[in-house]
Chain A
Amino acid sequence: QKEVEQNSGPLSVPEGAIASLNCTYSDRVSQSFFWYRQYSGKSPELIMSIYSNGDKEDGRFTAQLNKASQYVSLLIRDSQPSDSATYLCAVNRGYSTLTFGKGTMLLVSP
């Protein structure tokens, strides 16, 4: 089983809709979780971090963490074409380094 798994996509949503991105991880001792956005040809940009079970909201973004199910998700409300990018889920297993999923490509159509 891969350490951090994401559906590669592409996930296509119309402008204004909610995009839901999912990530599962295999190591139960994982402590902190991050979502990065990566535009084509650019480096990853941190958009959300979450450390405890439940929801964390920041503007149009909501991260959800369920440690019992080893599942973390990112919701993007009112999706915009500028949100079209690859979203990377990253997990810190307590050793300081991050383990990344391969990312989900999101396409938001006008």
Chain B
Amino acid sequence: GAGVSQSPSNKVTEKGKDVELRCDPISGHTALYWYRQSLGQGLEFLIYFQGNSAPDKSGLPSDRFSAERTGGSVSTLTIQRTQQEDSAVYLCASSRGPNNEQFFGPGTRLTVL
């Protein structure tokens, strides 16, 4: 079946603008994760959704970052008042449930000028 999809694939924005990144998980996967990967750095966990439970937001770096997941499927990661240090690849992953294998989407490359 179809894998995890993300849009847009690339986003260039000006400092101070808001951006929205979208993730569509694999059908039937109840768990959805957001990570980011900065140039030359490892993957950094941002937020985790499992079913209808409250999300685990422990990885969000500041209150400028937020995410929602509608209807247990599509998720949107919003970054308000973007800063240059927000430039990174934002990766979404999904899994059948907690502690299962995670499958990644192609990512969104965000560049903040």
Contact = CB atoms under 8 A, between A and B. Distances in A.
B76 to A, nearest CB: 18
Contacts of B113: none
Interface in A54-110: 88, 90, 92, 94-103
B45 A99 contact: yes
B106 interface: yes
Contacts of B43: 44, 88, 90, 98, 100
A101 B43 CA distance: 8
Given A88-B43, A96-B50, A32 B104 contact: no
B99 interface: yes
A43 B106 CA distance: 5
Nearest to A51: B99
A32 B99 contact: yes
A101 B45 contact: no
A46 interface: yes
Contacts of B56: 95-97
Interface in A30-49: 31-32, 34, 36, 42-46, 49
B66 interface: no
- A43, A46, A88, A101 interface centre (most CB from chain B within 10 Å): A43
Given A49-B101, A97-B48, A102-B41, 18 more contacts: A31-B99, A32-B99, A42-B106, A43-B89, A44-B104, A45-B104, A46-B101, A46-B102, A88-B42, A88-B43, A90-B43, A94-B99, A96-B31, A96-B50, A96-B56, A97-B59, A99-B45, A103-B42
